[in-house]
Copies of this chain bind each other. A is one copy, B any other.
Amino acid sequence: MRAVVYAEPGEVALSDVPEPRLEADGDAIVAVRRAAICGTDLHVTYGHAPGMEPGAVLGHEFTGTVVEVGRAVHRVKLGDEVMTSDFTACGHCWWCRSGRHWHCAERQFFGTGGVFGPVLPGGQAELVRVPHADVTLSALPAGLGPEAALLIGDNLATGWAACKQAAVVPGSVVTVVGAGPVGQLASLAAQVHGAAVVVVSDPLPERQALATAHGAVATDPETARAVVDSVSAGRGSDVVVEAVGHAFGLDAALDLVRPGGTVTSVSAHTDPGWQLPLARCFGAEIVLGFVIGNSLPLRDELTALIGAGVLDPTFVVTGRGQLEDAPKRYHDMWQAREMKVMLQLGDDRG
């Protein structure tokens, strides 16, 4: 089958690879219908992917149709259109029982090398094997489109989880540092949680414009503090979501948060260390949290909100293409010509 594979640092390729087969009773095989390119894919293809071997199939954001199931799969059925989490987990251990699937000992991430632990062949392919299918997959309810469903699995869940961890409440002033797909969706999530104002800081004018069009007050990084001051009576932001992907985003976030406020980082930090301004964090009683975003406990509420029309995450998709376009589309995203690209496979590939 055709798949997008890691070639060498900075390059992906379209390749012919063997079709996946069921390996355990809880596995399913999914025929992919949509696969998206995530900032994390850029991370792992531009040199930061320990364990990523040339030829490894990329991609952890996808939706599709179940075409084969193991004997122990009871909840999803052949022919189901399904959404997926970007990783698998057992569903039964202490971590999974308490909604913390990310920390399950059996966690495996799709298509990312060893950055996030054991890795599975990814979803930018015609077929993908999904372990623990009853936990990892859910059938799409009527009215939920494949692209919104795909975004639930990673980018939207991450922005949403940031608001939950930071306890955004009605009336909060929230600032998002970095207006990529996760930042844009964190802004949307904060608005649904009742934020009085969401400030989005990013140097790119087109990302500022997108944030503005979706309810935020957008600003350049240089003027961010002045904007935050103006909407918070000079106090600073109750909550700052750091979605930049580099440690300097944390410095910016600490500059914008009010005393007693919370910084939640959703960036995939790979720097081993960062200098925390200790005396200042103590005196200002800052809370600094890191969140990866586990869609599994969030699916029901996100599905309900999208179904009711309160949330539509698909505005973050700036470009579309087909599987064979992937090599070019990775470059477009790496060079910020696109923010998020959706690959279309199968019958409705357009």
Contact = CB atoms under 8 A, between A and B. Distances in A.
A214 interface: no
A276 B301 CA distance: 31
Contact of A289 (B193, B267, B286): B286
Contact of A301 (B171, B258, B300, B301): B171
B97 A75 contact: no
A267 to B, nearest CB: 7
A259 B171 contact: no
Count of identical protomers in the assembly: 4
Most buried by B among A103, A193, A194, A267: A194
30 contacts: A95-B259, A95-B260, A98-B300, A103-B259, A103-B260, A103-B285, A116-B283, A170-B192, A170-B193, A170-B301, A171-B304, A173-B304, A194-B305, A194-B310, A196-B307, A196-B308, A247-B278, A267-B282, A269-B279, A269-B281, A271-B278, A272-B277, A272-B279, A273-B277, A273-B278, A274-B275, A285-B292, A287-B288, A287-B289, A288-B289
A6 interface: no
A20 to B, nearest CB: 23
Interface in A165-215: 165, 169-171, 173, 192-197
Contacts of A97: 300
Contacts of A231: 308
A288 B285 contact: no
Contact of A268 (B271, B282, B310): B282
Given A169-B301, A194-B194, A271-B278, 12 more contacts: A92-B134, A94-B300, A103-B260, A192-B194, A194-B305, A195-B310, A197-B308, A268-B282, A274-B278, A282-B292, A285-B289, A287-B290
A291 interface: yes
Interface in A148-170: 165, 169-170
A100 interface: yes
Most buried by B among A92, A195, A233, A282: A282
A278 B272 contact: yes
Given A273-B278, A277-B273, A300-B97, A305 B196 contact: yes
B281 A290 contact: yes
Contacts of A274: 275-276, 278
Contacts of A302: 171
A308 to B, nearest CB: 4
Which 6 pairs, one residue from A and one from B, show the smallest C-beta to C-beta distance? A171-B301, A287-B289, A196-B308, A103-B259, A269-B282, A276-B276
A233 B95 CA distance: 12
A47 B92 CA distance: 41
A265 B282 contact: yes
Contact of A285 (B94, B98, B102): B102
Contacts of A287: 165, 287-290
Given A304-B196, A308-B196, A285 B291 contact: yes
A318 interface: no
Contacts of A98: 300
A143 B171 CA distance: 16
A288 B288 CA distance: 5
